[in-house]
Amino acid sequence: MTDTLFPDEKLGHSYAKAFASDSNDYFTAVSPTAINEPQWVSVNPLLAAEMGLNTDFLQSNESLQLLSGNHIDPSFHPIALAYSGHQFGVWAGQLGDGRAITLGELPVKQADANQSELWDVQLKGAGITPYSRFADGRAVLRSSIREYLCSEAMHALGVATTRALSLTTSTTPVYREDVETASVVCRVARSHIRFGSFEHFHYGKAPESVAALLDYVIQRHFPQWVDIDDGYLRLFDYTVTQTAKMIAQWQAIGFAHGVMNTDNMSILGETMDYGPFGFLDAYDPEHICNHSDTNGRYSFKNQPSIGLWNLNALATALMTQIPSEDLVASLKTYEPTFLRCYRQIMAEKLGFTGYVDSDENLINQLLSLMEVNGVDYSLFFRKLCTFDQDPNAVRDLFLDRAAFDTWAEDYRQRLSHETISEQQRTQAMLARNPKYILRNYMAQIAIEKAENGDFSEVNRLLHILQNPFDEHPEAEEYASLPPDWSESLSVSCSS
Ligand code: AMP
Ligand code: MG
């Protein structure tokens, strides 16, 4: 056994290497600032194993020092990336990694091939960087817990996302509305390059840097496109498709990202930068999960069109590199891709093997019934898995039973066209409709305990959320309606 967390190979630094000889507006080399008395809140052995890390060494003091940013191996080459972005629809100029520092990239073996892929290993909340502007470079425990749990929950729900390897906290004070403590999430992702990374160079009037960044992404993620003529367009097509699919998945599981600014949109179409976010309780398309979003720009129902708005912003940033008619044609595929993906998932949630045109009505009628009756989104679909055995458990969720009965008649009719057995359908639906999602109040319980030094609930939730389709008899309360007090919770950008 080797005595290091990253066993076979050291962390690489392809990003720094690719741009080192340029004028280097791409990143700044910067080391994390140590925190006082770091301690574990949680480690994620599941991800560690996926990454091929030395899991026996994961909880060691050496790993704690490493993943809290207190010890930097001399072989590392930590950097903070520059990027810009549109925030709430307005050009915000330069932003950049103000509190995230990428330690390097780890080659991770892929399950289906002998190939490996580079994953960024990044510490979020690791201290001031040249991009911190007037802020402190820190992240507080509560928002770090939310990111840590939610990114793993999303992964388990099958949504493309950044991951979280560990969460540490400290006695270092952080000043927000109250004094809180500095925490560090070790975030892992295939890429941390954002739409805003390209906007940064486009608006900085550096088209050659836009091209260099495109080249880097293609080289690292799509080496098969390196020498072809339309590699840039293929990459843009990929981003459009993946973003459409990602947001279709968000919508289908009832997830809303509270800050869909272009600096929070990954070029690979992965969910990133969990600040304010929320899963729907009662189905409400107007729901705004970010308390600071007073105009509801990022309300639940606006998210698909905001995805397209953001892709338009990315297209503008790539205008010097890709013919505009190609960009426009690619953008036109967003809506059909989104709809195809959303409809297929919704059909599967309802227990159909595939979507047929008449399902549109059935889905829309269901959603409007849920909205009018204030029906809990996730609970409905989970109970629907056993509709054949216990129809009343579903019916009782609706105040207007007669309206539900009318819908249910159409639903039964539709089911009768399916060829799979009732049992197969139940199994398929149970694997599509999670029993557990990260509701705000659940995170809040874990946060309050953690703020008092008890990290057990964070770890309990991690286990449940990493297996959200399974039964967890000891956690039945989290699979029920949220308690009344959860309505008073609000989540804002202050993190
Ligand atoms: P966010 O809304 O969290 O995506 O952050 C927007 C921008 O603000 C990014 O450039 C972040 O790096 C930066 N930022 C947010 N919080 C802090 C902080 N506490 N210290 C330094 N920069 C921050
Ligand atoms: Mg961000």
Per-residue pLDDT of 225-274, as tens digits, reads: 999 999 999 999 999 999 999 999 999 999 999 999 999 999 999 999 99
Q: How far is the CA of 99 from the centre of ligand 1 (A)?
A: 6
Q: How far is the CA of 144 from the centre of ligand 1 (A)?
A: 13
pLDDT at 1: 41
- Stated as kind and residue range, the H or E segment containing 277 is strand 277-279
Active-site hit among 263, 273, 281, 376: 263
pTM for the whole structure = 0.97
The number of angstroms, rounded, from the C-alpha of 439 to the middle of its chain's C-alpha atoms is 15
Buried b (16+ CB within 10 A) or exposed e, 338-354: beebbbbbbbbbbbbee
Which residues in the chain show pLDDT less than 50?
1
Mutation pick for ligand 1 pocket among 35, 86, 132, 264 (CB with most ligand atoms within 8 Å): 132
pLDDT at 226: 97
The verdict on the CB of residue 259 being under 6 Å from ligand 1 is: yes
Among candidate residues 319, 363, 320, the one with its CA nearest the CA of residue 339: 363
Question: Which CA distances in Å does 260 have to 98, 274, 283?
Answer: 18, 10, 20
Radius of gyration of the CA atoms of the chain, in A:
23
Residues in Cβ contact with 188 at an 8 Å cutoff, skipping those fewer than 6 apart = 47, 51, 119, 120, 121, 122, 162, 163, 164, 165
The verdict on whether 263 is a catalytic residue reads yes
- The answer to whether the beta carbons of residues 94 and 197 sit under 8 Å apart is no
- Stated as kind and residue range, the H or E segment containing 91 is strand 90-94
Report the Cα–Cα distance between both ends of the chain, in Å, rounded.
Answer: 39
pLDDT at 3: 65
Condensed to tens digits (0 to 9), the pLDDT of residues 375-413 reads: 999 999 999 999 999 999 999 999 999 999 999 999 999
Q: How far is the CA of 265 from the centre of ligand 2 (A)?
A: 8
Condensed to tens digits (0 to 9), the pLDDT of residues 95-130 reads: 999 999 999 999 998 877 678 999 999 999 999 999
The verdict on the CB of residue 124 being under 6 Å from ligand 1 is: no
Condensed to tens digits (0 to 9), the pLDDT of residues 432-451 reads: 999 999 999 999 999 999 99
SS3 state at 110: coil
pLDDT at 8: 63
- Report which protein residue has its CA nearest ligand 1's atom 11: 98
Helices within 116-181 (DSSP H only): 141-156
Counting every residue written for the chain, the total comes to: 495
Helix 207-221 crosses helix 231-253 at what angle (to 10 degrees)? 70
The verdict on the CB of residue 95 being under 6 Å from ligand 1 is: yes
Give the up-direction half-sphere exposure of residue 104: CA atoms within 13 A in the CB hemisphere: 18
Instruction: Kindly state the greatest CA–CA separation across the chain.
Output: 70
pLDDT at 495: 78
User: How many angstroms separate the CA atoms of 244 and 248, rounded?
Assistant: 6
The number of angstroms, rounded, from the C-alpha of 463 to the middle of its chain's C-alpha atoms is 18
